[in-house]
Structure 1
Amino acid sequence: MNFSGIDLNLLRVFDVLIREGNVTVAAERLGRTQSAVSHSLGKLRALFKDKLFVRDGGSMKPTPRAIELSAEISDALASIRATIDRYQLFVPDQTRRVFRVGLIDYHGAMVIPELIKHFRAEAPHATLNVMPTSKEEVGRLILTRKLDCAIVLNFDQDDQNLLLSEVGRDDLVCAIWSGSPLLSQPLTLERYLAATHIQISADGMSEGLADKVLREMGLQRHVAATIPSYLVIPWVLRGSDLITHCADSILLTLDEKSEVGLTKAPIALPSMPISLIIHKQMASDPATTWLKRLIEGIYADRQIRKEAARAAGPFVTRG
């Protein structure tokens, strides 16, 4: 097939199908009928000599060929879009664009309410999709345009196509049930090592930053169990003498009813940067710039509130 005879709109259909994994949803996003999208998919299959998508329950799963094509097609379309957008006026209160933001769980609990409030105030006709993500998968999701941006703790992937800006920092502290004898006196290294610990691990296997620091010291703590989320900490610790490490941002989700005391760890733990990540090609996109500014403002305010909570919170114990 001659290149001049190819309908380049087919590539946009492919890009949306990759993101949505559903013909009906893709049709809604594209403003077309389901049959029109199915017809375009037939042309794409003929063009690339591959099924590209196969039905799996209620979704369409990409084939290896589609996955291979997705990065290049998404990058090409994003480059064209960014070029056009540089010469377009982005008006937040008029846009109907769908924005996708990736967050880890405890940052979601703190940021989502403020993000939705500001987002609705400035862009009442737009749609905000907040999606759970992890440090391991976020780079791929940004590069394949499944996320417009993501907020990740301690991100360490090195990719020239990802732009990172630091929006804050978290310190690791020890979380303990407020009624535990462990909080009756300073948490020494001896008492810390004698205690039983809970490790927060999304995959249930990864060791924590504290374990790495202890190993360098020739020491080891006893981890009795792992849990996948910060948000269940109050229920896991209540009535026990367990210790878990958590980022001090959890301060903004706790109150006296949580029955959680926070105290400084008896080992030196480095602070962890909170990174806002976007695709390099979208750095000049007015809509992405607007969303980035919105999030940076929320985190600046959050940092102020976190420092105030550390200084004044009656439920915080300093070791």
Structure 2
Amino acid sequence: MHISKIDLNLFIVLEAIYTEGSITRASQKMNLTQPAISHALKRLRDLFDDPLFERQGNVMTPTPLARSIIEPVRRALRGLEVTLTGAARFDAASSERGFSLAMRDVLEANVLPPLMAGIAREAPLATLNTLQVSRKELASELAAGTLDAAIDVLLPLPNEVRRMQLAGDQTVVLVRRGHPLIKRGKLPLETYLALEHVQTSSRRRGPGLEDVELSRQGLQRRIRLRCQHYFAACRVVSQTDLALTMPDRLARIVNQQFGNQILPLPLTMPSLDVYLYWHANVDNDPANTWLRARVAAAMQAVA
């Protein structure tokens, strides 16, 4: 069937139902009535000769065919959107655009203050939404345009996802002031291994980068506490004899109210490099180019 005979709005409905998992939420997202969404879904089913979605409780579960076509559909829709956006000049001063930026929570305290200062200065009507996205879903979210960009460590992503190195960081160790094992502010490796440690991770299990490096040397430290957030870990350190290993720049922000000692990690570790990611289909999008420049400037400000 020739594309001229197909209503391209149907594919917008397809993507909305797939993303929202619900006809009700898709109708709210598109500001259409539920009967209109249901009618569009019927036309899609006739077009593909496939149910596309099957109801399981309150969720519309995609069929194998729907799963196989969603990424090409998202790329095509994103390409059209970029073409239309690029045809018009992006005026930051008057734009009311909302941007979505994925980043880990450990980066927010560093990046957001200078980033929002730059956005407020140049685009006072624009908004920013930061969120955490599964690394497995990062490429598809960027391709679909549900994310404008992402900040993360070096990741094995497809060639269609562009990247630019932003900054590096060092790893440090925090212990409370007056810690009985720390003499004259020195932390030799044997003392580091004798300490009990806090490990901060959003994962349920698994080693940290420092544990991987220790393992390579046939060494191991004792993890006494595993928690989710560095703020909580810093507070624990200030009231116990536990030690915390974390990125330097974040440590200097989070630790301000606790006054823990910040000591060099007595272990050779690679720099914690941070990268900016975006999809090739927005390489020349004026709005995305502007956002990337603001992110790069913010990272430079905290380097």
| Structure 1 match to 2:170 | 171
Equivalence for 2:92: 92
1:217 aligns with 2:191: no
Task: Give 1:29 shift.
Answer: 4.7
3-state SS, counterpart of residue 155 of structure 2: coil
- The 1:136/1:200 distance shift into structure 2, 3 A limit, reads farther
**CA, structure 1 residues 164+133, in 2 after alignment: closer, same or farther (shift >3 Å)?**
same
Aligned twin of 1:138: 138
**CA contact under 8 A between 1:179 and 1:239: conserved in structure 2?**
no
Say if 1:162 and 1:172 are closer, same or farther in 2 by CA, change over 3 A.
same
Distance 2:51 2:126 in 1: 33
3-state SS of the aligned residue for 1:249? helix
> Displacement of 1:102 after TM fit?
0.6
Is contact 1:109-1:253 (8 Å) kept?
yes
CA distance in 1, matches of 2:41, 2:97: 24
Aligned residue number for residue 155 of structure 2: 156
Q: Judging changes above 3 Å, is the alpha-carbon distance between structure 1 residues 282 and 259 closer, same or farther for their aligned structure 2 residues? A: same
Distance 1:263 1:134 in 2: 32
How far apart are the structure 1 equivalents of 2:95 and 2:223? 49
Cα deviation, residue 31, structure 1: 4.8
Rounded to whole Å, the distance in 2 between the matches of 1:87 and 1:23 is 32
Matched with 1:184 is: 183
Cα distance in 2 for residues equivalent to 1:164 and 1:144: 17
* Aligned amino acid, residue 168 of structure 2: R
After superposition, residues 1-319 of structure 1 pair within 5 angstroms as: 3-21=3-21, 23=23, 26-27=26-27, 29-53=29-53, 60-152=60-152, 154-185=153-184, 186-303=186-303
Q: 1:161 to 1:76 in 2, by over 3 A?
A: same
* TM-score, reference length from structure 1: 0.83
Give the TM-score normalised by the residue count of structure 2. Answer: 0.87
Tell me how far apart the structure 2 counterparts of residues 263 and 74 of structure 1 sit (CA, whole Å): 48
8 A contact 2:177–2:261 mirrored in 1: yes
**Residue 263 of structure 1: CA displacement?**
0.9
Distance 2:134 2:8 in 1: 33
Moved more, 101-110 or 265-274: 101-110
Contact 1:110–1:252 (Cα < 8 Å) also in 2: no
Cα deviation code 1:138-158 (max 9, x no counterpart): 334323433111111x22214
Shift of 1:61: 4.9
- For 2:251 and 2:123, the matched residues in 1 are separated by 30
Higher mean displacement: 108-117 or 205-214: 108-117
Q: Which segment is superposed worse, 253-262 or 27-36?
A: 27-36
The Cα of 1:25 is off from its aligned counterpart by 5.2
Q: Is the 8 A contact 1:53 1:62 kept in 2?
A: yes
Q: Deviation at 1:267? A: 0.8
Equivalent pair of 2:78/2:143 in contact (CA under 8 Å): no
Residue 285 of structure 1 and its aligned partner are, at CA, apart by 0.9
Measure the CA separation in 1 of the matches of 2:282 and 2:150: 13
Aligned equivalents of 1:192, 1:21: Cα separation in 2: 49
Mean alpha-carbon deviation: is it higher for 250-259 or for 142-151? 250-259
Quote the offset at 1:248 in angstroms. 1.1
Q: SS at the partner of 1:130?
A: strand
Matches of 1:57 and 1:196 in 2, distance apart? 48
Shift in Å at residue 101 of structure 1? 0.8
8 Å Cα contact 2:23-2:60 kept in structure 1: yes
Larger deviation, residues 143-152 vs 294-303? 143-152
Code of the residue aligned with 2:159 in structure 1: it is Q
1:78-111 Cα distance to aligned partner (Å, 9 max, x none): 2233334333211223334332111101211332
**Could you say if the C-alpha distance between residues 62 and 180 of structure 1 is closer, same or farther in structure 2, counting changes exceeding 3 Å?**
farther
Structure 1 segments unaligned to the other structure (5+ residues) = 304-319
In 2, Cα distance between equivalents of 1:175 and 1:59: 46
Alignment partners' CA distance in 1, 2:225 and 2:2? 60
User: What is the identity, as a one-letter code, of the residue corresponding to 1:202?
Assistant: S
Deviates more, 1:275-284 or 1:214-223: 214-223
How far off is 1:5 after superposition? 2.2
SS of 2:44's partner is helix
Deviations 1:242-286 (A, max 9, x none): 122111121352354223322111110110111111011111111
Q: Which segment is superposed worse, 84-93 or 23-32?
A: 23-32
SS at the partner of 1:219?
coil
Specify the SS of the correspondent of 1:133: coil
Q: What percentage of residue pairs aligned between the two structures are identical? A: 31
Q: Which amino acid aligns with 1:172?
A: T
Cα distance change on mapping 1:128 and 1:19 into 2, 3 Å: farther
Structure 2 contact 200–233 (Cα < 8 Å) conserved: no
Q: What's the C-alpha RMSD, in Å, of the aligned pairs? A: 2.7
